[in-house]
Structure 1
Amino acid sequence: MATHSHQLHQGDSLRDAAARRMAERGEQWTDMRAAVFDALAGFDKPASAYDIAEAVSKSRGKRVAANSVYRILDLFVGSNLARRVESANAYVANQHPGCLHDCIFLICDTCGQATHIDNDKLSGGVREAAEGAGFAEVRPVIEVRGRCGDCS
């Protein structure tokens, strides 16, 4: 498997890296964005906007609408702070927001856990095929469904 190096963040380090990434993109790191990011990073598997809205509502003591969370999640995906697991309509925090690369998710049909892996050979083949078909700025997202090692 082809790999590249990147620094993985967690906890306060992840939050700081996310705030830096937003600043690099000229975006504000507001209290609401921080709350949404903290909630997203707190889940151990992909979370829906509704899951995140509920968690933020509990932590802030007032209702937060899912449509507000969706807008923030769209910004996070565009800023490389989060990844969208398309088949689950859910999101995961990107533990290396300073590293832009393709996504390959291994998704467990039993427990819902999503594991992110890098394989430049596989995603590179998809990228080459898409570029050959005339697509520009290709960024593959590949999802493989099955059972994780714990559920097998």
Structure 2
Amino acid sequence: MATQHHHHRDLEGETLVSAARDALIEAGEQWTEMRADVFEALAGCEKPASAYDIAEKVGTARGKRVAANSVYRILDLFVRANLARRVESANAYVANSHPGCRHDCIFLICDLCGKAVHSDDDKLTGALRLAAQAAGFADVRPVVEIRGHCAECAAGD
């Protein structure tokens, strides 16, 4: 299978929000005002964001404090519904710019600026799935993160 490269914001603005809303409703969940606010805040981030970052953005927009644990629950729902992806090593999240598209991501994370780009390589993640299944694991979800310096930061080294 071909390797695809995606920056996490291929769909943007209202198009991305609409696609996320439709995907969540199709998954049998409600698109509440709070979920919309959390998704919009996440989608507006240039880098992976923590639940605390999102809670602060949403709280500022709403004019009242928003608890990070509420945001964590919403982000976990977004990950289960394929609206967001979790960058494990940073305990942070990025909006999925292809809400209806299911694929494993290989994150390329810049140690200097924090930018995260994802690449899809079904051949690589397929091999990881097969190895896990051979070891008796079910419902496998490969998480691959590669850290280094992005092109812009490497040019400045």
Which residue number in structure 2 is paired with residue 139 of structure 1?
141
Structure 2 Cα separation of the partners of residues 114 and 68 of structure 1: 24
Q: How big is the shift at 1:52?
A: 0.2
Distance 1:107 1:117 in 2: 11
Q: Which has the higher contact order (CA 8 A, sep 6+)?
A: 2
Residue 101 of structure 1 contacts residue 139 of structure 1 at CA under 8 Å; is this kept in 2? no
Structure 2 CA distance for aligned equivalents of residues 104 and 81 of structure 1: 16
CA distance in 1 between counterparts of 2:131 and 2:93 reads 26
**Other structure's SS at 1:150 match:** helix
Alpha-carbon shift at residue 3 of structure 1 (Å):
3.5
| Other-structure match for 1:111 | 113
Gaps of 5+ in 1: none
| Counterpart for residue 93 of structure 1 | 95
Measure the CA separation in 2 of the matches of 1:100 and 1:9.
15
Corresponding residue number in structure 1 for 2:56: 54
SS of 2:137 mapped into structure 1: coil
Deviations 1:36-86 (A, max 9, x none): 000000000000000000000011111100000000000000000000000
Residue matched to 2:32: 30
What amino acid is aligned across from residue 84 of structure 2 in structure 1? A
Q: How far does residue 139 in structure 1 lie from its aligned partner after superposition?
A: 1.6
Partner of 1:10: 12
Q: Contact conserved, 1:19 with 1:29, CA < 8 A, in 2?
A: yes
**So what's the TM-score if we normalise by structure 1?**
0.95
Aligned length: 151
Aligned-partner residue type, residue 2 of structure 2: A
Q: 33-42 or 137-146: which moved more?
A: 137-146
Give, in angstroms, the shift of residue 10 of structure 1. 1.3
Could you tell me the TM-score, scaled by structure 2's length?
A: 0.92
Q: Which of these residues, 63, 70, 84, is aligned with residue 68 of structure 1?
A: 70
Cα deviation for residue 4 of structure 1 reads 6.3
